[in-house]
Chain A
Amino acid sequence: MKKQKAPKVQHISNRRSPNRSLGGDAIIYLLLALTALLMVYPLVFALAASLKPLDELFRFPPRLLPVNPTFDNFADLVVTMGQSWVPFGRYLSNTVLITVIGTTGHLMIASMAAFVLAKYDFPLSKTFFRLVVVALMFSGYVTGIPNYLVLTRLKLVDTPWAVILPDFAAPIGLFLMKQFMEGIPMALIESAKMDGASEMRIFLQIVMPNVKPAWLTLIIFSVQGLWNARAQTVIYSEAKKTLTYALQQIQLGGIARVGQAAAVTVIMMLVPITIFIFSQTRILETMASSGIKE
Chain B
Amino acid sequence: MSTMGKYLALKRRNLETARYKAKQMWVCYLFLLPFAALFITFYILPMFTSIRYSFTYYNILEAPRYIGLANYINLILQDDIFLISVKNTFIIALITGPIGYILSFMFAWFINELPRWLRSLAVVIFYAPSIAGNAYFIFSIIFRGDVYGYLNSFLVRVGIINTPILWLTDPKYMMPVVVLVLLWMSMGTGFLAFVAGLKGVDHAQYEAGYVDGVRNRWQELYYITLPNMRPMLLFGAVMSITAAFSVADQTMALCGIPSTDYAAHTVVTHLFDYGYTRFDMGYASAIATLLFLTMILTNNLIQRLLKRVGT
Interface residues, chain A, with chain B CB atoms under 8 Å away? 1, 4-9, 11-12, 17-21, 24-25, 28, 31-32, 35-36, 38-40, 42-43, 45-46, 49, 58, 60-62, 64, 109-110, 112-113, 115-117, 120, 122-123, 125, 128, 131-139, 141-147, 149-150, 154, 165-166, 168-169, 171-172, 174-176, 179-180, 182-183, 199, 203, 213-214, 216-217, 220-221, 224, 227-228, 244, 265, 268-269, 272-273, 276-277, 280-281, 283-284, 287
Across the A-B interface, the 9 shortest Cβ-Cβ residue pairs: A169-B38, A228-B133, A113-B35, A146-B46, A146-B49, A179-B231, A213-B196, A269-B132, A166-B42
Give the residue name and chain of the A residue nearest to B33 (CB).
Answer: A113
Asked whether B184 is an interface residue with its Cβ less than 8 Å from the other chain, the reply is yes
Within 8 A of A (CB), among B5-38: 24-25, 27-29, 31-32, 34-36, 38
Asked whether B77 is an interface residue with its Cβ less than 8 Å from the other chain, the reply is no
In whole angstroms, how far apart are the Cα atoms of A12 and B204 in the complex?
A: 9
A135:B47 contact, CB within 8 angstroms: yes
Give the residue name and chain of the A residue nearest to B267 (CB).
Answer: A139
In whole angstroms, how far apart are the Cα atoms of A175 and B299 in the complex?
A: 15
In whole angstroms, how far apart are the Cα atoms of A1 and B200 in the complex?
A: 18
Q: B residues within 8 A CB of A7?
A: 200, 202
Asked whether B83 is an interface residue with its Cβ less than 8 Å from the other chain, the reply is no
Q: Which of B68-76, B94-102, B117-125, B254-262 lies on the face that meets chain A? A: B117-125
Give the residue name and chain of the B residue nearest to A230 (CB).
Answer: B133
A269:B234 contact, CB within 8 angstroms: no
Q: A residues within 8 A CB of B268?
A: 139, 141
Q: A7-B200, A112-B31, A143-B43 are in contact. List 20 more A-B contacts (CB 8 A).
A: A5-B228, A19-B206, A31-B110, A32-B111, A36-B126, A40-B125, A110-B35, A112-B35, A135-B43, A137-B295, A138-B50, A141-B276, A166-B38, A169-B43, A175-B238, A265-B132, A268-B133, A272-B132, A276-B127, A280-B124
A19:B42 contact, CB within 8 angstroms: no
Min CB–CB distance B121 → chain A (angstroms): 9
Give the residue name and chain of the B residue nearest to A258 (CB).
Answer: B141
Asked whether B145 is an interface residue with its Cβ less than 8 Å from the other chain, the reply is no
B232:A179 contact, CB within 8 angstroms: yes
Asked whether B67 is an interface residue with its Cβ less than 8 Å from the other chain, the reply is no
In whole angstroms, how far apart are the Cα atoms of A203 and B204 in the complex?
A: 26
A1:B227 contact, CB within 8 angstroms: yes
A176:B28 contact, CB within 8 angstroms: no
In whole angstroms, how far apart are the Cα atoms of A17 and B205 in the complex?
A: 12
A39:B129 contact, CB within 8 angstroms: yes
Q: How many B residues, CB 8 Å from partner? A: 109
Query: With contacts A32-B122, A61-B153 known, is A273 near B128, CB below 8 A?
Result: yes
Count: A-B pairs, CB below 8 Å: 289
A176:B193 contact, CB within 8 angstroms: yes
Other-chain contact of B38, A11, A168, A265 (Cβ < 8 Å): A168
Interface residues, chain B, with chain A CB atoms under 8 Å away? 24-25, 27-29, 31-32, 34-36, 38-39, 41-47, 49-50, 53, 60, 107, 110-111, 113-114, 116, 119-120, 122-129, 131-135, 137-139, 141-142, 147-148, 150, 153-154, 157, 184, 187, 189, 192-193, 195-197, 199-207, 209-210, 214-217, 219-220, 227-228, 231-232, 234-235, 238-239, 241-242, 245-246, 248, 268, 271-272, 275-276, 281, 284-285, 287-288, 291-292, 295-296, 299, 311
Other-chain contact of A36, B122, B153, B239 (Cβ < 8 Å): B122
Q: B residues within 8 A CB of A142?
A: 50, 53, 271, 275, 281, 284-285, 287-288
Other-chain contact of B231, A20, A43, A131, A182 (Cβ < 8 Å): A182
Q: A residues within 8 A CB of B209?
A: 19
Min CB–CB distance B35 → chain A (angstroms): 4
In whole angstroms, how far apart are the Cα atoms of A127 and B161 in the complex?
A: 58
Q: A residues within 8 A CB of B49?
A: 143, 146, 149
A217:B39 contact, CB within 8 angstroms: no
Give the residue name and chain of the A residue nearest to B127 (CB).
Answer: A276
B132:A117 contact, CB within 8 angstroms: no
